[in-house]
Amino acid sequence: MVPAESTDLPVAKTPRPQPGPNGRTRQRVAVIIPAKDEARRIAATVRSARAIPYVDLVLVVDDGSDDDTQHVAREAGAVVVRHSHNRGKAAAMETGASIVAMRDSADRPPRLLLFIDGDLGETAVNTAPLIPPVLKGAADMSIALLPPQPGAGGHGIVVGAARRAIASLTGWTPTQPLSGQRCLTREAFEAATPLAHGWGVETGMTIDLVRRGYVAVEVPCDLRHRPSKKDLRGTLHRAAQYRDVLFAVNARKMRSVLGGRPR
């Protein structure tokens, strides 16, 4: 895998659609936003995402929120589906991809899937650089590299564990293995399912795709989100991340020995 700005990129596995009669690509992009209790920031995120080039659908999957996330998102212009109870990020991503598939038309290529977090606010539009590498066939999956986030309280333990595991199992060492801002082809997403549980979804997805020959690149994006802090809530969040990453990695190690597709 190589940086997105390289002039000698490998060829992605998924064929890109040919331009239509007017010389423009017929490819469209769907933004999928898994969200839980994001009523304060989801409207800004949706409005910003709608301004991303090639995007014609912004879909919010309300994963059992206790606040007004679904109503605020809908009023901001998103299509909204809701889980009646919290099922986790992986389930929300799979639900979102399924809804997009139902809205794809047979006479047009499947939409690219751009997954973003619900707390990006006005910076969501800055995920736009993730689309060109996938659109042009340079990658099957692009991953956002975020700048340092003010107030972040982690010490890099979970990131380091995920990075080392991906490198060990695939030969590729990502800079930000836990980044949730990702653009994928439909083929790549389906090849990564079933997704790893919980906070292990990004690590599991990267391992599964790169091991199967899909091309992943990292792309700098000027994004701001709500970081986990050094308080008890932040510590518990990072502990849950670490648990889920280890579970996803160990499941994939077992797959190498036993075969099959464990979550």
- Per-residue pLDDT reduced to its tens digit, 146-200: 998 776 655 689 999 999 999 999 999 999 999 999 999 999 999 999 999 888 9
Predicted TM-score of the model (pTM) = 0.87
Picking from 146, 148, 174, the residue whose alpha carbon sits closest to that of residue 161 is: 174
Strand 112-115 with 182-184, pairing: antiparallel
- Per-residue pLDDT reduced to its tens digit, 239-257: 888 999 999 999 999 876 6
Instruction: Say whether pLDDT at 72 is over 50.
Output: yes
Q: Token pair of 123, please? A: 């910076």
**Residue 256 to residue 114: CA distance in whole angstroms:** 29
pLDDT for 234 equals 65
Amino acid occupying residue 46: V
Instruction: Say whether pLDDT at 5 is over 80.
Output: no
The per-residue pLDDT of the chain, averaged, comes to 88
Picking from 121, 109, 117, the residue whose alpha carbon sits closest to that of residue 29 is: 109
Q: Are 212 and 191 in contact (CB under 8 A)?
A: yes
Picking from 136, 141, 137, 116, the residue whose alpha carbon sits closest to that of residue 126 is: 116
- Vertex 64: Cα angle to 62 and 67 (nearest 5): 80
**Residue 112 to residue 139: CA distance in whole angstroms:** 12
Q: Token pair of 35, please? A: 């969200």
Sketch out the chain's domains with CATH numbers: 29-258 (3.90.550.10)
